[in-house]
């Protein structure tokens, strides 16, 4: 396993429409996923999308093994590999909450996301994933899948008064998980 470099905002590779994956369980796919897991762990991330390491495929990973300080009531998210995902909102209700990104280090903003979603796709072996999610879990999935469409969270900010540096906005908190 290799910790890969995480691309930062401004790199044009973060702005591509990612390619669908046609074959599961290939050595290249499995190796890439292992690298992504290692990279996310090293960066203390809650999620990582393949384009963030310059890999132009529709693949995201996410999961939290523990409670996150800013979201103490959020249930842990199982470690998930999600390929060729689709997201469907289950209601028009939105939630506005703080969000960060490993490709936009040090910053945080309030971003609107669907409160409740259904997401589908495949794992690395081609097994179907079909889940509903709410709150923090739904937010992470939407953030990661945005990366596959070349969208970084600053593009979704509605009120730039709520965009700033972590160290200024939340000086009392330890560095947090980003995605």
Question: Which pair of structure tokens corresponds to residue 138?
Answer: 């739904």
Annotated catalytic residues are 144
Closest separation between CB of residue 143 and Ni ion, Å? Answer: 6
Looking at the Cβ atoms of 148 and 179, the one nearer to Ni ion is: 179
Closest separation between CB of residue 131 and Ni ion, Å? Answer: 20
Looking at the Cβ atoms of 57 and 130, the one nearer to Ni ion is: 57
Looking at the Cβ atoms of 89 and 105, the one nearer to Ni ion is: 105
Query: Closest CB to Ni ion belongs to which residue?
Result: 101
Contact 132, 114 (CB under 8 A): no
Residues in touch with Ni ion (CB under 5 A): 101, 179
Looking at the Cβ atoms of 101 and 111, the one nearer to Ni ion is: 101
Question: Which pair of structure tokens corresponds to residue 111?
Answer: 């971003």
Q: Rounded CA gap, 87 and 160, in Å?
A: 26
Other beta carbons within 10 angstroms of residue 170's beta carbon come to 16
Give the H/E segment covering residue 37. helix 27-42
Closest separation between CB of residue 9 and Ni ion, Å? Answer: 9
> Residue 71 has what DSSP assignment?
B
Closest separation between CB of residue 47 and Ni ion, Å? Answer: 7
Listed in order, strand segments (DSSP E) in the chain are 47-49, 59-62, 80-89, 94-101, 104-114, 116-122, 128-134, 163-165
């Amino acid at each position: 396993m290799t910790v890969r470099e995480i691309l930062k905002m401004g790199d044009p590779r973060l702005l591509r429409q990612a390619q669908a994956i046609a074959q599961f369980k290939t050595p290249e796919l499995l190796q890439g996923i292992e690298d992504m897991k290692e990279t996310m762990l090293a960066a203390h991330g809650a999620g990582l999308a393949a384009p963030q390491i310059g890999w132009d495929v529709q693949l995201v990973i996410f999961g939290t093994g523990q409670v996150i300080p800013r979201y103490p009531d959020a249930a842990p998210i199982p470690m998930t590999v999600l390929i060729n995902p689709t997201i469907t909102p289950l209601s028009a209700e939105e939630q506005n909450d703080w969000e960060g990104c490993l490709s936009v280090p040090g910053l945080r903003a309030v971003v609107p996301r669907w409160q409740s979603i259904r997401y589908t796709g495949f794992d690395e072996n081609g097994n179907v994933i079909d889940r509903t999610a709410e709150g923090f879990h739904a937010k992470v999935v939407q953030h990661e899948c945005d990366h596959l469409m070349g969208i970084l969270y600053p593009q979704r900010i509605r009120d730039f008064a709520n965009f700033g540096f972590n160290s200024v906005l939340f000086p009392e908190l330890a560095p947090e998980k980003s995605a």
